Homo-oligomer: A and B are copies of this chain.
């Protein structure tokens, strides 16, 4: 059996290293030297491939934000009935979160650091979340009286809160409740279905 050596290109090594360091320490906490060490290369190479810390950060941030947002849209804009949409959203979203548990706190945090910049960076990148259609769908269901009266915006915020927050507050929850990595995963795995039913139970007539 041949020993397969996957020669990652330098650029990929840098991106992988930068991702790890930026996500765990944030834009300010990350040091270019840390990234270089993590990638096993010289610091000057970072500047050879990506001109500055900010440029490098932007690449990582946009990649992260795109992972966080686009799936939302495909569901938001589909033609599924409301309950199915909610179930789908929770299932898919929690799956992405579990594969990238540090993503939400990274993205949310960097948005807070500089909201203006965030809009500029993500706007036009076609991955900006567009919940309009989803909101209208809720509005319609309320008017048809097929679900209880609720503000569409509130329902959206609830849906997102229940999906994302546990990952943003992962360390806090683990500290307070006392869950190890495995237990946390198990709880989240179960929540894929539970959140959806929790929401549906609340609005079903």
Q: How far is the CA of A161 from the CA of B169 in the complex (A)?
A: 9
Within 8 A of B (CB), among A35-89: none
- Please report the C-alpha to C-alpha distance between residue A112 and residue B168 in the assembled complex, in whole angstroms: 8
Q: Quick one: which of A115-171 are within 8 Å of B by CB?
A: 115, 118-119, 128-129, 131, 148, 150-151, 153-154, 157-158, 160-162, 164-166, 168-171
Contact with B along A7-33 (1 / 0, CB 8 A): 000000000000000000110110000
Q: Which of B28, B105, B177, B195 contacts A112 (CB 8 A)?
A: B105
The copy count of this chain in the complex is 2
Task: List the interface of chain A (C-beta within 8 A of B).
Answer: 25-26, 28-29, 105, 108-109, 111-113, 115, 118-119, 128-129, 131, 148, 150-151, 153-154, 157-158, 160-162, 164-166, 168-177, 187, 190-191, 194-195, 198-199, 201-203
Instruction: Judge whether B113 and A175 touch: CB under 8 Å.
Output: no
Question: Does more than half of chain A's interface fall in helix, strand or loop, or is it mixed?
Answer: helix
Of the A-B pairs whose beta carbons lie under 8 Å apart in the complex, a sample of 22, sorted by A's number, is A28-B28, A108-B169, A111-B171, A111-B175, A112-B170, A115-B171, A115-B175, A118-B171, A118-B175, A119-B175, A131-B177, A148-B201, A151-B194, A154-B187, A157-B166, A158-B198, A160-B169, A161-B161, A162-B162, A164-B165, A198-B202, A201-B201
